[in-house]
Amino acid sequence: MRVLIIGGAGLFGKKSALALLRDPDCELVVTYDVQPPDALFYKRIEPYKEKFKYVRGDISDLQMLLAAASDNKIDRMVNWAMILSKDPMPWLNMKIGLQGMANFFETARILGIKRLVFASSETVYGEQKDYGDDHEIVEDDRLMPYPGSVYALAKCLAEVFAAQYDELYGIKSTALRPCIGYGHGGKDPIFVRWFSNIVSLPAVGQPVHLECTGDWKFSTILSDEVGDFTAMALKADSSPHPAYNLGGPAVTLKDFAASVKKYIPDAQITFGDQPEDCELPWLVSSKRAEEDFGFKLMSIDEAVLKHINEARAEAGMPPIAG
């Protein structure tokens, strides 16, 4: 495999690249982004550096994207390029999420690339209250008829693109619908930052205060797990289903705080009184990913320990044993 990962400097992009670089069947991994990956990423891929390459580029520029894929003889592509926040402007979300995604599929058509994995999102479902607090959301649930943001609209449209490019050109695509994907270095949107900071800061001996109450429910997944599933799905010539949820059982930030303290008993974690006002589904099923690919999510404690040790590695601190 010769893989191009668009949005390769982001949290999911870096973890997808790392998972693919570890695969002996992967000959080359090229990350394509407006900025290179960080120093910790380069440290982690040191054993595989001979088959890694970074290309600076903008997904909204079709000619740049075509050149990156053509010059590197790419045969499979991943798109993790996204703007997760409504800021700085809806226009930028449209540029990356709509025009950029269109360029992703068109690059595959022009170059004859037949296998794609791309970012959809749990936001395509709307809110948990649209289904009820006892309804576990599955991939066959109807997507929301009135997307609440340009971001959510773009993800819905991306799945339409995928279906039509398959019908017309035989391009096999798999949409991934992650829930709150956290990990060391996660920043946007605010929910991701909360779940990242509540682990990363205590891991290196720093206190963390979150302005929220910590009581709201979320479905979460460690970014490493997203990367692992991306590699699994991309390696297959096609997937049994067109889309996969990626998220664990409902948890709160206070659940994460309790998990952190199992490993770091003196961790200083405090909360404020600001409601989380979560508009996202928190009862999400990932059974399809397990049934089709044998993919199993980590427990919270397993994921938190992995997250802690990544933060400590960047700070030059020894790992904590499980």
Say yes or no: domain 182-218+249-283+294-314 is CATH 3.90.25.10: yes
Are 151 and 161 in contact, with CB atoms under 8 Å apart?
no
- For the chain, what are the domain ranges? 2-180+221-246, 182-218+249-283+294-314
CATH number of 2-180+221-246: 3.40.50.720
Phi-psi region of 236 (alpha: psi -120 to 50; beta: other; left: phi over 0): beta
DSSP secondary structure, 105-130, as one string = HHHHHHHT--EEEEE--GGGG--GGG
> Which residues, at least 6 apart from 209, have a Cβ–Cβ distance to it below 8 Å?
269, 270, 271, 272
Question: Residues of 22-58 as b/e, b for ≥16 C-beta within 10 angstroms?
Answer: ebeebebbbbbbeeebeebbeebbeebeeebebbebb
Furthest-apart CA atoms within the chain: distance in Å = 58
Question: pTM for the complete prediction?
Answer: 0.94
Assign 16 to helix, strand or coil.
helix
Q: What are phi and psi of 211, to 5 degrees?
A: -70, -15
Residue 86: predicted pLDDT = 54
d(CA 264, CA 283) in angstroms, rounded, equals: 29
| Torsion (CA) 102, 104, 109, 112 in degrees, nearest 10 | 180
Show the low-confidence residues of the chain (pLDDT under 70): 84-89, 144-148, 277-278
Residue 188: predicted pLDDT = 78
Residue 143: predicted pLDDT = 77
Cα distances (Å, whole numbers) of residue 165 to 148, 169, 207: 26, 5, 49
Residue 154: predicted pLDDT = 87
